[in-house]
Structures are given as structure tokens and as C-alpha cells.
Chain A
């Protein structure tokens, strides 16, 4: 074997690493580029605010946007308080024992369950067992269980970045544990919790498989008016029009994909920028 000069081998390896980073980054830029380039022409005020017409081949995507919005809103309302409390338990109360280890293992596994299995679970338990039917609430509950581990993990990160001395100062003044959490720890963790929440919202807005059998409908001729309605949803709508409907005008598909992609990416960008901003402003 030829023995390379260490300097040369370093140069070669660095070049190789740069190329692989390109391989990782370029596809995502390509995906965004392809969708923006082809989809931009479809976007208009009318597209965003009217009902689909003619077997979805014309008209807009308003019901799908509103449907996604209501499912995501419901699910975050359910999952956020539970997630925050669970994170508080793990970070502030839990002792280093078997129970805590089991909880952590459960969170890891909950995060790894395939999304379609959540769909099955939601179908079985919310749609059939609790008789909620295929509805916003059934889909939202399914998504909230799926999102729980993500929320817990990010909130825990935010809580543990609050310095220990803050808690000690408060406890030493005779303040109770809960009051310390409520008035000292939580307010200081708010920025982290907020950014984590926005990221989660972005993530669940794009999920399709869990709502496939629990909330989403092929076509609903009216806008959602109660949480027990079936709704159209943006990701499911994109799936339908790109695979199930023959002769679907291409630019409408790209347009729908663009709306979905922009929704998700904008929220993620806001969260990432907010996180950088808060980190810079942090006083400790």
C-alpha cells in the first residue's frame, strides 16, 4: 500500500468531506428550487381562498389549508401542557432511579414509532373505541401523542439551560418547589419552549400518515365548522392530487406543494432565528 504523506492525506480527506457536505445540502436546495420554480405561477389570492372545483382540477385549496390549521391547533393545545408538565417532572422532580429510566426509554421509543402505526393506533382507539369518528379531534389527538416526545425533549432542554443557582436562590428564600418552578424556572425557559413549540407545529403540519385514517377526507364540499367534522388537509390533499387524480393540472400540484413547503419552512426558519436571537440575548 502506498503511504500517503499526512499533510496530503489531510487535504484529500477535507476535500472529500466538503464534497459530501455538498451532497447532503444540494438536494434540499434542489427540492425547494424545483417546487418554487414550478409552483409560483399557481399561487394567487384566489388559489389560497377558494374551494376546489371540477373534481379538484380547478379552484383553490382553502378547505385544505383550514383543515390542516385546525388539526394542528387542536393537537398543540392538547400536547403542549402535557409535554411541559412531563418535562418539568423529568427535569425538576425525577430522581435518578428505575422509574425515571423507564420514562426516558418510553419517550425514546415513542419518538421512534412509525407515523403510520400512530395512524393505526388513532384509528383503533379514538375513531373506533371512543367513537369520535373520522374527525378533527381524532386526528389531533393522534398527532398530539406523536408529538409528545418531541415537545418533552425540547422543553427539557429549555428547562435545564436555566442555571441551577436561580433555583437555589429562590429555594433559599423559603419559596416552595412549585413556586420556584412557576416563577423562576418557567419564565426563564419560555424562549426555548416557544421555539420548540413552533418547530413541532411545523413538523406536524406536514404529517400525513397519522391523519390518513383518523381525520383526513378526500373531498369535503364545505369548510370545517366543528371539531367532529372530517376535513381536508394540505399534505393529504397533495398526496391525493399527485397520485389519485388523472389529468390533474401540474401547476396546481406544484402550487399546493409550494404552499405546504413554505408553511413548514417559514415556521421552522422563524423558530431557528428566534432561538439564535434569544441565545444572544441571554444574560447568563
Chain B
């Protein structure tokens, strides 16, 4: 009896363990299946480098280059803001802050990660958007710049948490060695700790990028949703995620437009898969320290 229960439980546990692999494969297969006929009919090259996204005009045009550029612009902008702030905050938390401050900061960062993206989007709409409009004297404040600023807040928690892990896992012998040679605390942090933790920090940055590329609601609410190739960061842009979210409701099921949105989803999946894969490699490197 005991043996049977044991065996049954072990099988259940094994199956559950395998489920994550099953889901990843399922998501990939499903997106591939839905977008395959579309990509074959329309042409994958035309899809990726086509400049015009006019899914509902006659004949329709499904070029996502402007959407990719939109995503790239917003992501780059967000990273330029989030990476320095995130990494420095992580340094402060793990190396400089006294115990009490450290715990409070860590909890705050965790709370920051919990704020829903719609709320961030809404706050961006009522605060950043009018400010950007007035300061830079633009026709509209719904720009890539406003989007990048709000998205930076969403990337910061990811970057801080993971870099902090990497920094605090640097062996204490390294630090003591440097300090014993007469280096100041800051010199130790900059030349020893930061260098040793670099693979982990890079992984943190990549995961932050992954988070920003995939972010949907805040982007849709703040970036203006104009599908054209942006010339500056102060223009409205439309990202891949926002296109899917905004247009799926209006499509005909199984139609060309519907499939094209799955194809965008497929592209997004492939991009984030690669980003995460690379991040994981860097994290693995960090563990071998």
C-alpha cells in the first residue's frame, strides 16, 4: 500500500515537473502553427522588413518594421534610464546600506514590482504625458520618450533584484583581499565586486530588457500608437505588443489580420526566448565563480 502511494505520487510529481517544458513547447508550436500559413502566404521577409502596417486597407499590408523600430526605441530609452539606476541601487543595497535600510529598500523594490502595469500606464497618462508635452512643446505628449520613462520603472525592480543577488554572492575573500591591500571600500566595490559580479549584472540587464520588450498595457496607454517609423524619441510610436493588444479585438477569427497578429506574437516569443536564454547563460557563469 505504502509503495503504491509512493509510486503514484512520484509519477504525479514527475509529470508536474515536466509540465513547464510541455507548456513552452506548446506555446511555441501553437504560435508557429497559427502564423505559419500567414508567413508562407505573405512572405516572411516582406513581413519583417515591410515598412507599412495597414492591416485593414485593401490590399492589406503587413510590414512590421515600424513596429519593431517602435519596440526597439522604447526599450532602448527605458534601458538607458533603468540600467544605471538599477545597478547603482543594487550596489547601494548590497554593499553600502546598513542592515535596517537594506531590508526596507528590498521590500520597497519588491512592492514596486507588484504595481500593475495598467496603473503605471494610467499614472503616466496623467503625469508624465502632459509634462513632456509642455516641456518639449510637442503636439502630443504620447511619445516614445514618455513610454520609455514609465517602462524604466518597470524594469528597475527586475534589474535591482537580480544584480543584487549577483553582487552579494561575490565571495567575501575577494573583498577582504582588496581591503587588506589598503584599497578603500569604494575602490574595492568598483574594481573587485563590480567586476566579479559582472556576468550576473549583465543577466539582470537582459532580463530587464526582456521585461520591457514584452510590456503591453503601459506602452499601449502612453506611447501614442502611431504605426510609422519614428525619427526621434519625441514622436508617437507603436510597439509590437501594443499592436497585438489593440487590434486583436477587431479581427475576424482565422482571417489574415488575425493570423498576422499571431505572427507578431511568434516574433516576440522568439526575441524574448533568445534574451532569456542568453541571460541564463550569464547567470550560469556567475554561479561558477
A interface with B by C-beta (< 8 Å): 6-7, 9-10, 13-14, 16-18, 20-21, 23-25, 27-28, 30-31, 34-35, 81-83, 85-86, 88-90, 93-94, 102-103, 105-121, 123-125, 128, 145, 148-149, 152, 176-179, 182, 199, 202-203, 205-209, 212-213, 235-236, 238-239, 242-243, 253, 257, 260-261, 264-265, 267-269, 272, 276
| Given contacts A16-B88, A112-B214, A113-B269, A238 and B118 within 8 Å (CB-CB) | yes
Query: Which B residues lie within 8 Å of A238 (CB)?
Result: 118-119, 122
Chain B contact surface mostly: helix
Would A27 and B153 count as touching, CB distance under 8 A?
yes
Question: Given known contacts A20-B85, A24-B160, is B27 in contact with A117 (CB within 8 Å)?
Answer: yes
Interface centre among B12, B23, B89, B211 (most CB of A within 10 A): B23
- In the complex, besides A10-B186, A105-B280, A110-B20, 11 extra interface pairs with C-beta distance below 8 angstroms are A17-B89, A31-B120, A81-B16, A116-B268, A117-B31, A120-B34, A206-B115, A206-B116, A208-B117, A235-B116, A272-B107
A21 and B105 contact, CB distance less than 8 A: yes
With A121-B31, A123-B248, A235-B116 as known contacts, state yes or no: A103 contacts B18, CB within 8 Å: yes
Closest-CB distance, A128 to chain B (whole angstroms): 7
A159 shortest CB reach to chain B, Å: 12
- Residues of B participating in the A interface, judged by any CB pair closer than 8 Å: 2-3, 5-6, 9-10, 12-21, 23-24, 26-27, 30-31, 34, 84-86, 88-89, 91-93, 96, 103, 105, 107-112, 114-123, 125-127, 153, 156, 160, 183-187, 190, 207, 210-211, 213-217, 221, 241, 244-245, 248-249, 253, 261-262, 265, 268-269, 272-273, 275-277, 279-280
24 example contacts (A-B, Cβ-Cβ < 8 A) are as follows: A6-B184, A13-B190, A20-B84, A20-B85, A21-B93, A24-B112, A27-B153, A31-B115, A31-B123, A85-B15, A85-B17, A86-B13, A105-B280, A108-B277, A112-B211, A112-B214, A114-B213, A116-B244, A123-B248, A125-B26, A148-B23, A239-B121, A261-B116, A268-B114
**Cα A178 to Cα B7 with chains together (Å):** 9
Most buried by B among A81, A116, A268: A116
Asked if A120 meets B114 with Cβ closer than 8 Å, knowing A31-B120, A34-B127, the reply is no
The answer to whether A125 and B30 touch across the interface, beta carbons within 8 angstroms, is yes
Cα of A208 to Cα of B86 in the assembled complex, Å: 25
Contact check, A93 vs B14: say whether CB atoms are below 8 A apart.
yes
Q: A124–B17 contact, CB under 8 A?
A: no
- Nearest A residue to B183, CB-CB: A6
